[in-house]
Amino acid sequence: MAVSLTKGQKVNLSKAVEKLANVTVGLGWDMAQNGSSIDCDSSVFVLRENTKRISKKVKAGLFGLFSKTETDEVTEYGLTRSDDIIYYGNLTHGSGCIKHRGDNLVGGTGKRNDDEQIAINLKKMPPDIKKLVVVVNIYNCKLRGQHFGMIKNCYARIVDDATKQEICRYNLTDDYDRCTALIVGELYRDENGEWQFKAVGEGTHDGNIPDMAKRYK
């Protein structure tokens, strides 16, 4: 039975399914009212481990009258390559482990129950890739005056490709009125190397994919 998640909850995918390899992230939404169609676009931001050296001045010497420079190493996860953004204009990641199955231009009409799908090979994911952030934005939102208050029944689900069974589902039930983009969830490796999925459900006012990507650089 699929795990039903609420905002902030997570599930260990590696423990939920033994020898988990390939999954599909399915995303869906419906229009809340009749009117102009709304083009929602799903994307994945591929975050790699990035170690930075940060220098800072600290007080030193008698009575702290002098200063010296200390250097610390800080490990962060971020977008380090332009091709680490998977979307309708870059459907397949260079590793071959992430494949966007195409842009559905009209929400609520997904032929596979989901409006858009992203296939992910967790087993063969390069070791320096630590986190996959799944986002959805409204195309040309500012020009069209559209936002997620006009959308209902948003969800994300993860399916085991081997069995076609749904592992977990997250229904986004917050009030996203005036929000033009959503950070839906994150797939990430934990300290044991196991894959987890966290339901994020954060609405933003970013106008396009590049604006959202700036959050992770």
| Token pair recorded at residue 191 | 């300290």
Task: State the pLDDT at residue 110.
Answer: 43
3-state secondary structure of 22: strand
Torsion of CA 157, 20, 11, 107, to 10 degrees: -10
Residue pLDDT, tens place only, 98-146: 999 987 755 544 445 899 999 999 999 999 999 999 999 999 999 999 9
Q: Could you tell me how many helices (H) and strands (E) the chain has, helices first?
A: 3, 13
Mean pLDDT within 173-178: 96
* pTM for the full predicted model: 0.87
**Per-residue confidence at 63, pLDDT binned at 50, 70, 90?**
low
Antiparallel, parallel or unpaired: β 3-5 and 165-171? parallel
**DSSP class of 203:** E
pLDDT at 33: 76
Domains of the chain, CATH where assigned: 3-216 (2.60.60.30)
207: helix, coil or strand?
coil
Give the pLDDT band (50/70/90) at residue 39: very high
CA distances from 213 to 156, 157, 164, 183 (A): 20, 22, 31, 11
